[in-house]
Amino acid sequence: MKISTRGRYALRVMIDLAEQSRGTYVPLKEIAARQEISQKYLESIVSDLSKAKLIDGQHGKGGGYRLLRAPSDYSVGEILRASEGNLAPISCLEKDAPPCPRSAGCKTLPMWKELNDLIQTFFDGKTLADLAGVPTGDDYVI
């Protein structure tokens, strides 16, 4: 499994929002400048994050993007799945994958399932607050 640039940038956007926004909208132009990522590329990433209901966007003066929940309420896994689509190490373990005709006799499937469980558990056990180093108490305001 390899996390693409898209997934890594999605994490950087979410960390930036956790560090900067505190409930206010942060212009994408500012995020792009701080993260040194093309604004055009970020537009497609924030679109995915918005569709997954991880962030909220507002157009016009005072607009930008903000988190919808406290950073401690986001798992790294959900952010990566929103941007990558899938974290499964092999195609037959992807969500909604058609049943593999060889699965009953597949000698390697148990190993791949174990790896998949480890990957999901690892990324779902890390929060945005862990990465951003922001407080996890009740002081986060949206």
SS3 category, 112: helix
Which domains does the chain carry? 5-87+127-132 (1.10.10.10)
Q: How many CB atoms lie within 10 A of CB 28?
A: 20
SS3 category, 65: strand
- For residue range 53-65, what is the model confidence (pLDDT) as tens digits? 999 999 888 889 9
The percent helix, strand, coil of the chain (3-state, each to 5) is: 55, 10, 40
pTM of the model: 0.87
- For residue range 73-102, what is the model confidence (pLDDT) as tens digits? 999 999 999 999 889 999 999 988 898 888
Of 91, 30, 18, give the one whose Cα is nearest residue 55.
18
Q: How far apart are CA 102 and CA 88, in angstroms?
A: 18
